Amino acid sequence: MRVLRWVSVLVLGLSMAAPVAAGKLYKWVDEKGNVHFSDKVPPEAAKLAHEEMNQSGITVKEVARAKTQEEIAAEAAQKLKDEEASKIAEAQAQEDRALMLSYTNVEDLIRARDQELGVIDSNMATAKLTMASQEKSLSDLLAHAADYERNKKAVPQAVNDSVANVRAQIELQQKSLVDRKASKETVRKEYDTKLARWHELASKNATTIKP
């Protein structure tokens, strides 16, 4: 109560002493914790938090202190982080919508996985047949070259070129098989993720569908 009376007296005194202030009174606390009242905020206190009070000592406006450069930088960084998180969330939401629209039940999702894996298996089988044929050609070419060597004759350049060419083709087929095997594993993992997400979304939608 004594503080309120003192503030009221101070407000009244300032109002009488400074009529040009239009009844405004400012209150702020300096860096040392001292409370100040005045009809205007001095330059050295402009960056501090302060209150604007009316003639009755009632706060009518509050002004926050000026932010430091570190705080401004932190807010900017947080804003960028929030925007990025929002973009990720929106992208996930779009993927979820596409997933649930593309596969109305889990059987469709499993069928799509098996079809994609089947295509890879078919390509691998073709590559193996092609490589077997190439290996047979290489064996014949090497046998042909060996005949020249047994007869103490130089192996024709065309035969050597054919050997090198077939060997290169076999290496490509081998690499293709390795790549397709890795692709098959990638597809499995992708569909495992899709299946887990599908079940999660279906559960959220209160839909009970057995895999």
157-210 confidence digits (pLDDT tens): 999 999 999 999 999 999 999 999 999 999 999 999 999 999 999 988 754 444
**pLDDT, greater one: 150 or 9:** 150
* Calpha distance 25→50 (Å, rounded): 10
From CA 136, how far away is CA 184, in angstroms rounded?
28
pLDDT above 90 (res 29): no
DSSP 53: E
Q: pLDDT tens, 96-111?
A: 999 999 999 999 999 9
Q: How confident is the model at residue 4 (pLDDT cuts 50, 70, 90)?
A: very low
How far apart CA 154 and CA 138 sit, in angstroms, is: 18
Q: How far apart are CA 197 and CA 128, in angstroms?
A: 35
Report the side by side order of strands in the sheet with 35-38.
Answer: 35-38, 25-29, 50-53, 59-63
Would the pTM count as exceeding 0.95?
no
Judge whether 170 and 138 are in contact, CB under 8 Å: yes
